[in-house]
Structure 1
Amino acid sequence: MKHTETSNEGLKRAYTLTIPAKEIEARIDSEIKKIAPQMKMPGFRPGKVPANLVRKMHGEQLHAQSLNDVIRESVDSVMTENKLRPAMQPKVDLSEKYEEGGDAEVTLELEILPEIAAPDLKGLKLEKLTVPVTDKQVDEAVENVAKGQKNFEDAPKSRKAKDGDQLIIDFLGKLDGEPFEGGKAEDAPLELGSGQFIPGFEKQLTGAKTGDEKVINVTFPADYQAEHLAGKDVTFDITVKAVKVAGEMKIDEDFAKSLGLDSLDKLKELLRGQLEQETAGMTRTAMKRSLLDQLASGHDFPVPEGMVDAEFEQIWQQLQQEAAREEDPAAALKEVEAEKDDYRSIAERRVRLGLLLSEIGQGAGVEVSQQEMQMLMQQAAQQYPAEQREQFFKFVQDEPMAAAQIRAPLYEDKVVDHLFETADVKEREVTRDELQAAIEAEETAPAPKKKAAAKKKAPAKKETAKKADAKPAAKKAPAKKAAAKKPAAKKAPAKKAPAKKAAAKPAAKKPAAKKAPAKKK
């Protein structure tokens, strides 16, 4: 095999590979020798089928497989010889002029990972903002638990329902005058003001009394999961069977025992632990963002465009989904579009941080163990129906990039923990509000290229800019096998769909469904 470099610009490389016909033919002969002893054919003893008959019967399949193997090995050889570290899956194409029996000309295009100088981590200084959990916060948490355990009692029939009251209703939903599937229920409990039904539903029942019959008009959200109802105007025939008021919940030992706990002190202990865990998570988030800000400000090196494109696409899809859930989707999307360059900068920052964290992790010997990887795969598999999980595991095993994506978040956390241990950390006690403000500070977002006038932020920009989920993209698996004829991309099995809710009872604001990969065919 001979190869020639045809392009060397920045991080982009391109090569032309010429694979002699004799190498392909030698591989086919080798494959025939492997399978011939296993073949059975009438008129021949087992393992005695002539090579020419094996070639005649399986020639096309053997040629395709052999060509694939030779191309893959040739690409690997070029990678090794030129010490290339691909940033993403290389593009490998077989010339359309190729004919069986001739030399194979292959083009190889890829982006490589940049050379990153070993970072100097001696100057890292971090502030650890801690929030002590007070008895008052624990008592408030207990009260919130009690509020969630309301006991509703029948109210006088003359009572007009208000927020906090519970209605027991029968309802029948109609689209264009006809009942629709999932739009009927009997003796359904509804707490006014809870936001558990679609927008406008509860508000129109405020003031209702026991025995009232009403027809209300509502519009399903544009992103409602039932497509035939999304954005549609419907009516509901309502019968109010009872109005109930919340009874007083006494916080005492019996209340704690009703929750399955030994005592009220045990409940407080449990809630204190939850609050401490929550604030510890917030503390870590603030520290991590400060750490990433310092790393980002102290390092500037070129990053592969393909990795930036992929990261930007993820950000952009999220923003579009969130804009679609706004009251005025068109205006929200327009505002996001106006800041497209800023989001591109965010994507570039994430990729650069991911590569830097990977370099630091490799230098420090940070690894994700096989046991941890198995745990991550098990967790990821829960997104798929039970009958497709085996298919998902095989997909991850066959697709190094998929495995890298699953591994990346835990690897990043391990590198960050390593940096926390090596940094100069000083603790400072703050209030919860001060900690929250530090997390929401705009310091982590990249500065826009042009100073824009103050305006309402586009949906989720703060979260997108600050999430700081830099992926250790540098720790990539080797390139996937090249194919003689480009096959359809292997896909993960379709994710498990959430159970359908009753048509009248979606959350007022629901998160956008994750886009599942197409089902493997």
Structure 2
Amino acid sequence: MNITLDKKDTTNASIRITLEEADYQPRVEKKLKDYSRTASIKGFRPGKVPAGLLKKMYGKGILVDEVNNLLIESVDSYIKENKLSIVGDPLPNQTEAEGIDWDTQREFSFSYDIGLVPEFTYDVNKLNLTRTEVEITDKDINDSLDNLKARHGNYINPEEVGEQDLAFGGLKQIEGGEFQKENAYLFVNKLKEEAKPLFLGKKKGDVIVFDIQSIFADSDSVRLFTQIPQEEADKLAGKFELTIADIDRQVPAEMNEEFFKKVYGEDVKSEEEFKEKLTQELQKLYDKESDNRLLRDIQNQLVETTNIDLPNEFLKRWLKVSNKNLSDEEIAKEYDEFVKGLKWTIIKDKIAKDNDLKVEHEEVLEQAKNSFKEVYNFLQNDTPENESLLNQLADNFLKAEKGQNYMNTFQRVFTDKVAAFVKDQITPQVKKVSTEEFNKTEEAAS
């Protein structure tokens, strides 16, 4: 076997492999022997099929498979042994491959195009980072508390429609069309203020007449009311009548031990402890989101300030080969975003290599366990039973999806480790903000 590298420029190269019969023939013969032990052919007992017949029937297919397997292994080994930093996957020269005569040739030559990552430098000192820290207020605590009380509350059916109620019943168009709906759902808090008196105080069996496009505060409410597509809801107009069949009202949960237990388990037994726990949870939630924003800033700024030449034509060709359903137009449209993600991956790998940053299996396992803790509050209690359950859940999760869950979790830990390293090199400025300011900047960014 002969393997050579033809480096065309700093980002493009090709690997040429020449195989002689001695390179692949032992593999072919071994595969034929394996077939001879298992092949089931009419007229012959298992294991007694003549070698010549097997070769005639399967020899060419086995030759093609074994040569291709050897090529893939050889290219992969050559790249690793020579520490070539590549992007995408090696692309075989299809013209050469199609010109091979598998019936008569004994020596084969193949060429693979590869995209190279040239040497580059990054400079974390160019980064201008700011970490926004949210200050939790009494209003935030009370708003969150109201949401929790509503979520864990009960529903009753009052006699009369109130400000926060849901009234539902039959809807019928009486002017301008023939629309009807057996069950329409009216959220009173979606009505304009001037329209609410039409509905407040009404009882089961009452019939209310109204203009459908004039009573709601926004166009989406008509869709919610009628449960039809938005474009159809936008066209509804004229007089309608709603015959109230029933009324639903959500009654918030009371601040008692039963409520505390529903939300946080056995740990919280008083209103003071509950609010303290809620404050900690809110702060933890916003701190995590602040870290996520900082990570995005690190990623974006490093990509913007680091010059990396990429083999763009090769990458577009590789994307086309790897994604048969993508058109040239779609690739061109999405290419810039793809390059940003690719550059971030390349930069992360270099930072990790330069600073010997590695991810151990225990860190991947811990990340998976923490993910389950976030979903199930009771697992946050450090008990032997919970630890055993967490280990089992994490292990099953990481083994699922043919290892993809493991790789996704590994990449998350790896990215966090690189980001933490960069943050340690530069002390970000700290900007204190309210939850309202924080959420507004998030909406603007998205």
Task: Give your verdict on TM over 0.5.
Answer: yes
Deviations 1:4-52 (CA, angstroms, capped at 9, x unpaired): 6567244122344443456444431232244445667788887565432
Correspondences of 1:191-270 after superposition (within 5 Å): 191-193=187-189, 207-208=198-199, 209-210=202-203, 211=205, 212=207, 239-243=243-247, 252-253=255-256, 256=259, 259=262, 262-270=269-277
CA change 1:345–1:250 in 2 (3 A) is closer
Match of 2:100 among 98, 101, 105: 98
User: What displacement does 1:284 show?
Assistant: 1.3
Correspondences of 1:129-148 after superposition (within 5 Å): 129-148=132-151
Letter in 1 for 2:343: R
1:365 matched residue in structure 2: 356
Please tell me whether residue 154 in structure 1 is matched to residue 158 in structure 2.
Answer: yes
Match of 1:393 among 359, 383, 401: 401
TM-score by length of 1: 0.55
User: What displacement does 1:280 show?
Assistant: 0.4
User: What displacement does 1:416 show?
Assistant: 0.8
Q: Could you tell me how far apart the structure 2 residues matched to 1:355 and 1:206 are?
A: 62
1:276 matched residue in structure 2: 283
Correspondences of 1:426-437 after superposition (within 5 Å): 427=430, 429-436=432-439
Matched position secondary structure for 1:154: coil
- The answer to which structure has the higher helix fraction is 2
Matched position secondary structure for 1:356: helix
Deviations 1:226-274 (CA, angstroms, capped at 9, x unpaired): xx97855799996421346666x58643784585663323431332122
Q: How many residues were matched structurally?
A: 380
Unaligned runs of 5+ in 1: 314-336, 380-388, 441-459, 464-521
Farther off after superposition, 102-111 or 301-310: 301-310
Unaligned runs of 5+ in 2: 214-218, 321-329, 372-396
Matched position secondary structure for 1:115: coil
CA change 1:307–1:166 in 2 (3 A) is farther
Farther off after superposition, 236-245 or 211-220: 211-220
Correspondences of 1:380-419 after superposition (within 5 Å): 393-394=401-402, 407-419=410-422
Pairwise CA RMSD of aligned residues? 5.3
1:352 matched residue in structure 2: 343
Letter in 2 for 1:393: E
Q: Could you tell me how far apart the structure 1 residues matched to 2:15 and 2:125 are?
A: 41
Letter in 2 for 1:299: T
User: What displacement does 1:375 show?
Assistant: 8.6
User: What displacement does 1:301 show?
Assistant: 1.9
Would the aligned equivalents of 1:166 and 1:189 in 2 still touch at CA under 8 Å?
A: yes
Match of 2:119 among 112, 115, 118: 115
2:169 matched residue in structure 1: 169
Q: Could you tell me how far apart the structure 1 residues matched to 2:212 and 2:314 are?
A: 48
CA change 1:104–1:404 in 2 (3 A) is farther
Q: Could you tell me how far apart the structure 1 residues matched to 2:145 and 2:87 are?
A: 51
Matched position secondary structure for 2:244: strand
Q: Could you tell me how far apart the structure 2 residues matched to 1:368 and 1:172 are?
A: 63
Q: Could you tell me how far apart the structure 2 residues matched to 1:122 and 1:286 are?
A: 19
Matched position secondary structure for 2:13: strand
Letter in 1 for 2:12: K
Q: Could you tell me how far apart the structure 2 residues matched to 1:425 and 1:390 are?
A: 34
CA change 1:308–1:292 in 2 (3 A) is farther
Would the aligned equivalents of 1:377 and 1:393 in 2 still touch at CA under 8 Å?
A: no
Q: Could you tell me how far apart the structure 1 residues matched to 2:13 and 2:182 are?
A: 62
Would the aligned equivalents of 2:132 and 2:430 in 1 still touch at CA under 8 Å?
A: yes
Of the two, which has the highest radius of gyration?
2
Q: Could you tell me how far apart the structure 1 residues matched to 2:155 and 2:137 are?
A: 28
Please tell me whether residue 69 in structure 1 is matched to residue 69 in structure 2.
Answer: yes
Would the aligned equivalents of 1:126 and 1:426 in 2 still touch at CA under 8 Å?
A: yes
Deviations 1:186-209 (CA, angstroms, capped at 9, x unpaired): xx87533469xxxx9xx9999354
Matched position secondary structure for 1:240: strand
